[in-house]
Structure 1
Amino acid sequence: MKLLNLGVNHHTAPIDIRESVAVAPEVLRDALLDLRAYLKGTNAASSPEVAILSTCNRMEIYCAANDLDYTDNHLEAKAIDWLVAQKNMHHHELKPYIYSAKENMAVKHAFRVGCGLDSMVLGETQILGQMKQAVQHADEVGTLGSYLKPLFNKTFSIAKAVRGNTKIGSQSVSMASAAVRLSERIFGDIANSKVLFIGAGEMISLCANHFATRKPKQITISNRTLDKGHELAAVFTQQGIATEVFALQDLPSQLHQFDIVVSCTASSLPIIGMGMIKTALKARNRRPMVLIDLAVPRDVEPEIKSIRDIYLYSVDDLGEVVQAGQDSRLQAVSEAESIIDQGVSEFYESLERRTVVPIIQSLQESTEQFKQIELEKARRRLAKGDDPMDVMATMAQALANKLMHAPIHALKTSPANELNDFKKIIASMYGQK
């Protein structure tokens, strides 16, 4: 099998490129089926495996395909062609930002991603949950198989080992805490600030919890689904924080009330534009606003950053804050890398062991045939009244001869350049020195 991983992430591509290739949750399943069909082409016998991981910091394609169906670099070229075609881009626009890894390096990359070593926040755990969701989606639509399934299962096992045996996640400076720090740079103590969270997903929940520790004047949730908004707001109401919830469609009329706005939705288009912000600033008598856009594609038009009294931060801006707190965990990276390298070896050993299964089955079938043949001969002799001990001795000798025929024949007929290998194998099997 050929294993391949390719994509773009925060290391290789700016946010505008990342958002251009992001796969929205509502089209992910169709994208998986379309990618597999494209890689399969006209070969009806081919059955490539695919998974897609799309987050705010990366979009990655994982592929496994029979190596007889694809020449060197053919699988990679087809995957890139599909990605370019899906996003209506030209090769020269996207290719400089794409990274790829094959075979054991693809396995190692998957392990590093799952362990948080390739994340903007070193050692963060959110990526593991996102990877598990990506695997679940691929499994549900049937695009995983006997290679990618074991790969991801091993990834999750390695991630658990790294968490349990290193300090990679200690003193973590998360994106959520970075959002709080950036807000405090502008307002100082945010106890008198009203904070609006747009969306109600995992990232918004994490951020809201961090802001809640500062006891802001009010936490408000705006979401397309009001029930989810009320569910999240209830957590902070129980903490004694004033909360409100309103529908996302009411955002233009409500935005001016808030000092800090944190947004992370799955919208494919910005939900906060230049006109909305200018109207809100006018209603606020130009009191400053902090806008933290955690979404990819972005929720806030990037041009808004040029407006005076607006402090707009993207995920890349937060990444700079996060980077400053990573030094304390760098010592754990080498320990994690050792666990990952061992995991890569174990993964390929398990694949290698699987290749002997058909051979074992064939040996067992041949042995069963020998047994049935000799048993039938023994039954006929016993039915004729032959001495049972003589029958048993003959049967045992016949089975031994049949089982020893193949190794003896191999020793006698093997080419000179292979004879030493056969001798070592036979010696180890039968305990000879």
Structure 2
Amino acid sequence: MSLFALGLNHHTAPLAVRERMTFLPEALPEALGELTRARPVQEAAILSTCNRTELYCATNDPDSALDWMAQYHRIGPSEIAPYIYKLEQQQAVRHVFRVASGLDSMVLGEPQILGQMKQAVRVAEGAGTLGALLHTLFQRSFAVAKEVRSTTAIGANIVSMAAAAVHLSERIFGSISGQNVLCVGAGEMIELCAAHFAGCSPRAMAIANRTPERAQALADRFAGGSTRMYALRLDELGDRLADFDIVLSCTASPLPIIGLGLVERALKQRRHRPMVMVDLAVPRDIEAEVDALDDVFLYTVDDLAQIVDSGLESRQAAVVEAQAIIDARVANFLQWVQARESVPAIRALRGHAEDLRALELERALRALSRGESAEQVLDTLSRNLTNKLMHGPTRLLNEAPPEAREHIEDLVRRLFPQNGHDA
């Protein structure tokens, strides 16, 4: 049974492909259960974000797991084959550690991915698909991420997706302070965006969500400054979209919630004053056709990568240090895996020795009951036990072919050092 990391990300696949492979959060537990029931997969966890969809699993048949991913999303395996990577054992561990540490993110060093990975672990635990191998892998991943962030400059001058959205908006309007901002959704990404934009003191900021209570709670969280904060129902977007200069959207909707017609009507009401729209969702929340409108500056998660340059030099320098930490921790984890794989052999060896000991002890007790001297009984017991324990290694040495003899002799010397000390 090997460990695999299977999937695609922003390095290997365009947004149009990634959004077709996204798992909805509420569907993940059932999907994990289906995978482990229907395929030869013993352990599994799925990380699905705007930038990646990855399946971490313990299996001897990774191709079957990949076929399931394609079938689940109703995509032909040949369609996604050019974008998929299949990493095994050492490469898989190294990849997971890099992802957790932010080294594989679109924004180098961003911390959000660690929270997303922890959520993926919680879902897998709840679904009952996280065994000892993946549990230990993820715990080591979290420890590595903490070590990398605390001992290197990988987090220095970090540019998050939210900060990048602010940067894009400032390119168009010069300043956020005079603008009206709309955040659609109430998840972690929107919380980050709301925090960044609230810090720029816009004129007003609204949170729109299907659950009004969550929207209001998020609006209340950033209330108190000069910015007017309030909540909207999602079904109010049609009437209120024209009020906003900047629109940020990140929901888990499988279909776009802001269509071309809705934006066209808003632009007419605005008398074609420009709008910045940032679609952080995968699948997209805003119809791609909106990008063709003259007065809209529409950006997707892929576009944000182009403006992530602040602090890049210091973060790139930290990658070397971070990678050295990761390489050392990968080696440690693989040693643990190898030791774990040796457990059955160790148990069998100890069981064999215990059987021999019990047999000789029984014979010794019978000899004592017959009146034989304790000294003679102990001598016989020790000789018999030694002969039986040495029978296997002695036979192996005697029957070893010439080309293997040197290796076996070295192994025997290591197993049975002279005078009870290492040679």
Corresponding letter in the other structure for 2:33 = L
Equivalent position of 2:47 in the other structure? 53
Check whether the contact 1:120–1:323 (CA below 8 A) recurs between aligned residues: no
Equivalent position of 1:43 in the other structure? none
| 1:179-258 → structure 2 map (5 Å cutoff) | 179-239=165-225, 241-258=227-244
RMSD of aligned alpha carbons: 2.1
Equivalent position of 1:97 in the other structure? 83
Aligned match of 1:264 in 243, 250, 254? 250
Shift of 1:7: 2.0
Residue by residue over 1:290-317, the C-alpha shift from the partner in whole angstroms, topping out at 9 and shown as x without a partner, is 1111111111111112212211111111
Shift of 1:239: 4.2
Q: Give the TM-score of the pair, scaled to structure 1.
A: 0.90
Corresponding letter in the other structure for 1:36 = T
Corresponding letter in the other structure for 1:271 = I
Check whether the contact 1:51–1:138 (CA below 8 A) recurs between aligned residues: yes
Check whether the contact 1:4–1:106 (CA below 8 A) recurs between aligned residues: yes
What is the aligned-residue identity percentage? 47
CA distance in 2, matches of 1:3, 1:372: 39
CA distance in 2, matches of 1:241, 1:398: 88
Shift of 1:38: 4.4
Shift of 1:198: 0.8
SS across alignment from 1:311: strand
Q: Does residue 88 of the first structure (1) align with residue 74 of the second (2)?
A: yes
Q: Does residue 283 of the first structure (1) align with residue 277 of the second (2)?
A: no
SS across alignment from 2:297: strand
Q: Does residue 27 of the first structure (1) align with residue 13 of the second (2)?
A: no
Equivalent position of 2:307 in the other structure? 321
Q: Does residue 408 of the first structure (1) align with residue 402 of the second (2)?
A: no
Check whether the contact 1:121–1:323 (CA below 8 A) recurs between aligned residues: no
| 1:300-379 → structure 2 map (5 Å cutoff) | 300-323=286-309, 325-379=311-365
In structure 1, the gaps of 5 or more residues are: 41-46
CA distance in 1, matches of 2:179, 2:68: 47
Compared CA separation, residues 388 and 344, structure 1 to 2 (3 A): same
Shift of 1:323: 4.0
Check whether the contact 2:154–2:314 (CA below 8 A) recurs between aligned residues: no
Residue by residue over 1:191-249, the C-alpha shift from the partner in whole angstroms, topping out at 9 and shown as x without a partner, is 12121111111111111111111111222111111221122112211445321112111
CA distance in 1, matches of 2:409, 2:190: 65
Shift of 1:126: 1.0
Equivalent position of 1:425 in the other structure? 411
Residue by residue over 1:8-35, the C-alpha shift from the partner in whole angstroms, topping out at 9 and shown as x without a partner, is 2111222111111111112222222333
SS across alignment from 2:3: strand
Q: Give the TM-score of the pair, scaled to structure 2.
A: 0.92
Compared CA separation, residues 79 and 398, structure 1 to 2 (3 A): closer
Which ranges of 4 or more aligned residues in structure 1 deviate by more than 4 Å?
Answer: none
Residue by residue over 1:160-184, the C-alpha shift from the partner in whole angstroms, topping out at 9 and shown as x without a partner, is 2222322111111111111111111
Aligned match of 2:56 in 62, 68, 72? 62
SS across alignment from 1:191: coil
Shift of 1:87: 2.7
SS across alignment from 1:23: coil
* Farther-moved stretch of structure 1 (141-150 vs 104-113): 141-150
CA distance in 1, matches of 2:206, 2:256: 20
